[in-house]
Amino acid sequence: ASKKNGRNCATAFAAHMAEERSVDRALEKDLESAFDAGQLRMVYQPIHSIDEDCREVEALVRWKHPELGEVPPSTFIPAAERSGLMVRLGEWIIRRALQDFAQWPDIHMSLNLSPLQLQHDGFSTFLLDCCRENGIAPQRLFLEVTESLSIERNTRALLTLNLLRNLGFRIALDDFGTGYSSLSMVKSFKFDRMKLDRSLVMDLGQDPASLAVLEAAVTMARHVGAEVVAEGISEDHLVGPTRSAGCTHLQGYFYSHPIEAGHVWNYIAKVQGKSARAA
């Protein structure tokens, strides 16, 4: 009986895997038509400086699937990478984000890049052209990268990153403190900024070891001349410890969820008004 059960289990598992794969493929297929169907959009999450000012947003892509509703980017970005759609999606994102950004003078914007974009021929030219068309200086953009395709061992991506940095773009290491962005990344490139992952921040106040890890990460970033942004500030009690540890920018639901393009300028004006009154 146990043998039979084992076989049933194996069959069920195989069926499950096949189903998963076909769900993946269906999603990849649907993503192809999402561009023209107007199902993609950009939202922007404010990044605050520790003096309570806000002069920066991070661009985040959204996909509203006609049947499934909002599909998270943690699902469809990997799908795009698997199916060869990432370069096209990345170009769509950059075009749309920079068009929006052109309406917001003086502030900075962070853009997430897939390693596949960095490896693609002509990426820097494309990005520069988009900046030029929209009248945006490279110095106003932070390009966020992670290690997901192992940039360390990827000479091509590293060369592109160096070129972009020489052109004036700022380069940020995203998700620092997770498996995707390891310590050795710090040695392989001169990052302008490190973004401490939410997982390093969320237990502050409950667990003394969390503070030790956070402080060590900030110290390391400082030693290589990078500024530090704390992600995942979801509650007010996380502001104090991240600020005293030396983070210069804070981002998270406590300040604001990602917002639609049409609301960004009002948000910035409101926060700047408040911080000017406080000063």
Residue 244, token pair as written in the block: 């005293």
Q: Does 35 participate in binding ligand C2E (rule CB under 6 A)?
A: no
Q: How far is the CB of 112 from ligand C2E (least distance, A)?
A: 4
* Cα-based angle 177, 181, 187 (whole degrees, multiple of 5): 105
Residue 220, token pair as written in the block: 């390391």
Which residue bears the tokens 């900030």? Answer: 218
Rounded distance between C-alpha atoms, residue 199 and residue 216, angstroms: 15
**Nearer CB in complex with Mg ion: 45/124:** 45
Q: Which of 34, 47, 61, 173 binds ligand C2E (CB under 6 A)?
A: 61
Residue 41, token pair as written in the block: 């959009």
Contact window for Mg ion (CB under 5 A) among 15-23, 62-70, 189-197, 264-272: 189-197
β-bridge mates for residue 229, sequence order: 195, 249
**Nearer CB in complex with Mg ion: 100/144:** 144
Q: Does 253 participate in binding ligand C2E (rule CB under 6 A)?
A: yes
Q: Does 72 participate in binding ligand C2E (rule CB under 6 A)?
A: yes
**Nearer CB in complex with ligand C2E: 246/258:** 258
Of residues 134, 142, 92, the one with CA closest to residue 117: 92
Contact window for ligand C2E (CB under 6 A) among 13-21, 53-61, 101-109, 222-230: 53-61
Helix-helix angle 73-83:86-101, to 10 degrees? 130
* Cα-based angle 97, 102, 105 (whole degrees, multiple of 5): 125
Q: Does 46 participate in binding ligand C2E (rule CB under 6 A)?
A: no
Q: Which of 30, 56, 81, 175 binds Mg ion (CB under 5 A)?
A: 175
Which residue bears the tokens 């596949």? Answer: 116
Residue nearest to ligand C2E according to CB distances in the complex: 252
Of residues 188, 147, 189, the one with CA closest to residue 166: 189
Q: Which of 28, 50, 53, 73 binds ligand C2E (CB under 6 A)?
A: 73
- Interface with Mg ion: number of residues (CB under 5 A): 5
Residue 127, token pair as written in the block: 């990005």
Interface residues toward ligand C2E, by CB under 6 A: 45, 59-61, 72-74, 77, 93, 112-114, 144, 174-175, 198, 231-234, 251-253, 258
Interface residues toward Mg ion, by CB under 5 A: 112, 144, 174-175, 195
